[in-house]
Amino acid sequence: MVERIKFSLAAPVVAIVVSILVGSLVLIASGANPLAAYGEMIRFGFQLETIVNILNRATPLYLSAVAVAIGFRMNLFNIGVEGQYILAAFMGAAAGAELAFLPGPLHVVAILFVSMVTGAVWAAIPAVLKVTRGVSEVISTIMLNAIATGFLVSYLLAKWADQSDTTLNIQTKPIEESGWVPSLNGVLELFTRDIRPGTELYGFLLIAILVGVIYHVGLKYTRPGFDLRASGENPAAAEASGVSPKSTVIAAMLLSGGIAGLVGLPEILGRTHNFGLQFTRQLGFVGIAVALLGRNHPVGIAVGALIIAFLDSSSAVLQVKSDASPEVVKIIQGVIIFTSVVAYEVIRRRQAVDEARSAAEALAQPSPHGSHGEGAEPMVDPAKQGGRS
């Protein structure tokens, strides 16, 4: 058990250490002092306002990573989270503006509903293509991303833009207050000092936590969750146990898309109240990275999201207080992601080798006449060969 924890933590720790080293080298090369830079970042990072910012950034990242992780658990690459969340956020904002007649909580729920359905539908397309025509979901989701963001959203945004806005911003009509998710500052201030105005803790944080809980409970404690995990781990065994591979693919993608639909909402329902050109993009791809960092585990993903968010938020201080350029955090983030996947793979291979060795040692006990069959050889089915090897 201790061995397993050791193995699980080793990779992220290695990744972080390596990226800090690389970041330091880069800083030194550019003439800055890494220790001073890191110090500034940490000092700034633990201020209350920054913590609020970190949590705000981490919330959509967490949702995005959970969406991706659901796919990963089924061995599906939902790279389409990017397109799904942007399209869903746009639809949610546009619908939200029209649904102003709904009372408070109902208005918010309606927006959530629209966004989740949009995301699920957009994810259903690659799912159906995969199940019926065998189209790789990697390719179809990449194409659908471009269609969603470059074509659909661009076109519809221009078409449905708020005409009453006199600024140069192109954005959807604003959502009335009944569709806002209230900030948690009040709650937070019960525990800490007053927060400086201008910084609000997204209430959507609670929804994100709820999603995380449902993700965890659903996968671990329900039978459909077991079916999904089993199908991702070993489709042949799952099929023999009664799990339909096609249904599971579709279900997983729908779920993934539905959660992806929520990714853009913290920002829209908590701050901007419309969808405009300033809407944060790329969260789908960063979500993939966070899911990888967190190893698809609900708590691991949360930690990963917080780390990335911390790096983003605290780098702002570097501009002002040191001669290190804030862009170095982008490199640190990239290196963390890259090294973590390499480290995971290396460690996984080490683990497999270790186990094989200990298993072989255990089996090396002598037996009277050996077992039947050429034990080390896999089953050969001559009827299958001769075709595509």
Partner 1 sequence: MNSKHVVSDEAPAVELAGITKRFPGVIANQNVNVRVERGEIHALVGENGAGKSTLMKILYGMQPADEGTMEVGGKRVNFSSPRDAIDHGIGMVHQHFMLADNFTVLENIILGSEPLKGGGRIDFNQAHDKVQALCDSYGLEINIDDLVEDLEVGERQRVEIIKVLFRGAEILILDEPTAVLVPHEVDELFRNLRELRTQGKTIIFIDHKLDEVLEISDNITVLRRGETVATVGASEVTAPELAELMVGAELPSPGEREGAIGDAVTFKAENLTITEADGRKVLNGVSFQIHDKEIVGLAGVEGNGQSELIDALLGIRPLSAGRLFLNGEDLTNSAVSDRRAKGLGYVPEDRHRRGLLLNFPLWENAMLGYQRLKPFSKRGFWLDSEATRERTEEIISRFDVRTPNMDVAARVLSGGNQQKLIVGREMLSEPEALIAAHPTRGVDVGAQAAIWESLRAARDEGLGVLLISADLDELIGLSDRLLVIFRGEIVAELNPETITPRELGGYMTGAGATTEAANG
Partner 2 sequence: MTAPTKTRNGQSDPIATTPNRPMILRVLEETGKARWLLAFGLIVVLLSITEVASGTTDLASTGTWSTALAFAVPIMCAGLGGMYSERAGVVNIGLEGMLILGTWFGAWGAFFWGPWGGIAAATIGGALGGLLHAVATVSYGVDHIISGVAINILAPGITRFLANELFVSDPEASFPQAGPGGSVTQSPNVQGVSSIDLPFLSGGWGTPDLLGALENTEWLFVSQAAGILRGMVTNLSLLTLLAWALIPLSAWVLWRTAFGLRLRSTGEHPAAADSLGVNVIKYKYIGVIASGAFAGFGGGFLVIELTGIFKEGQTGGRGFIGLATMLVGNYRPTGVGIGALLFGFTDTLQLRDPSAAHGLLLLLAMIATLVTAYYVYKKSWIVAAVTTVLGVGFFGAYLFTDAVIPQFPPALPFFAVLLLMIFAGGRLRMPATTGQPYRKGDH
Question: Which spans of this chain sit near partner 2 (rule: CB under 8 A)?
Answer: 26, 30-31, 77, 79, 129, 133-136, 138-140, 142-147, 150-151, 154-155, 285-286, 288-289, 292, 325, 327-328, 330-331, 333-335, 337-338, 341-342, 345-346, 349, 388-389
Nearer to partner 2, 154 or 222 (CB): 154
Q: What is the DSSP string of 301-367?
A: HHHHHHHHHHHHHHTHHHHHHSSS-TTHHHHHHHHHHHHHHHHHHHHHHHHHHHHHHHHHHHHTS--
CB of 60 to partner 1, least distance (A): 30
Tell me: does residue 223 bind partner 1 (CB under 8 A).
Answer: yes
- Dist CA 188 CA 192 (whole Å): 6
- Dist CA 335 CA 333 (whole Å): 5
Binding test (CB under 8 A) with partner 1, winner from 241, 278, 282, 319 = 241
- Dist CA 11 CA 15 (whole Å): 6
Helix (H, G, I), strand (E, B) or coil at 170: coil
Please check whether residue 76 is in contact with residue 251, taking contact to mean a CB–CB distance below 8 angstroms: no
Nearer to partner 1, 194 or 374 (CB): 374
**Adjacent-strand bridge partners of 276:** 171
Tokens of 359: 């298993």
Tell me: does residue 2 bind partner 1 (CB under 8 A).
Answer: no
- Dist CA 214 CA 298 (whole Å): 10
- Dist CA 208 CA 203 (whole Å): 9
Could you say which of partner 2, partner 1, none residue 140 binds, taking C-beta under 5 to 8 angstroms by partner kind?
partner 2
The footprint of partner 1 on residues 343-362 (CB under 8 A) is 355, 359-360, 362
Helix (H, G, I), strand (E, B) or coil at 171: strand
Count the neighbouring beta carbons within 10 Å of the beta carbon of residue 3. Answer: 10
Could you say which of partner 2, partner 1, none residue 313 binds, taking C-beta under 5 to 8 angstroms by partner kind?
none
Tell me: does residue 5 bind partner 1 (CB under 8 A).
Answer: no
Tell me: does residue 197 bind partner 1 (CB under 8 A).
Answer: no
Tell me: does residue 7 bind partner 1 (CB under 8 A).
Answer: no
- How many CA within 13 A on the CB side of residue 301? 29
Task: Choose among 23, 30, 22, 52: nearest CA to 44.
Answer: 52
Contacts of 44 (CB under 8 A, 6+ apart): 50, 314, 316, 317, 321
How many residues contact partner 1, by CB under 8 A?
Answer: 50
- Dist CA 22 CA 100 (whole Å): 51
Binding test (CB under 8 A) with partner 1, winner from 131, 239, 285, 331 = 239
Nearer to partner 2, 142 or 209 (CB): 142
Binding test (CB under 8 A) with partner 1, winner from 29, 158, 240, 320 = 240
CB of 375 to partner 1, least distance (A): 4
Could you say which of partner 1, partner 2, none residue 368 binds, taking C-beta under 5 to 8 angstroms by partner kind?
partner 1
Tell me: does residue 370 bind partner 1 (CB under 8 A).
Answer: yes
Tokens of 133: 């025509």
Tell me: does residue 224 bind partner 1 (CB under 8 A).
Answer: yes
Interface characters, 155-194, with partner 1 (x: CB under 8 A): ----------------------------------------
CB of 254 to partner 1, least distance (A): 18
Tokens of 206: 């609670």
Nearer to partner 1, 162 or 239 (CB): 239
Binding test (CB under 8 A) with partner 1, winner from 31, 103, 197, 375 = 375
CB of 357 to partner 1, least distance (A): 11
Residues that bind partner 1 (CB under 8 A): 1, 220-227, 229-230, 233-234, 236-244, 355, 359-360, 362-364, 367-383, 385-389
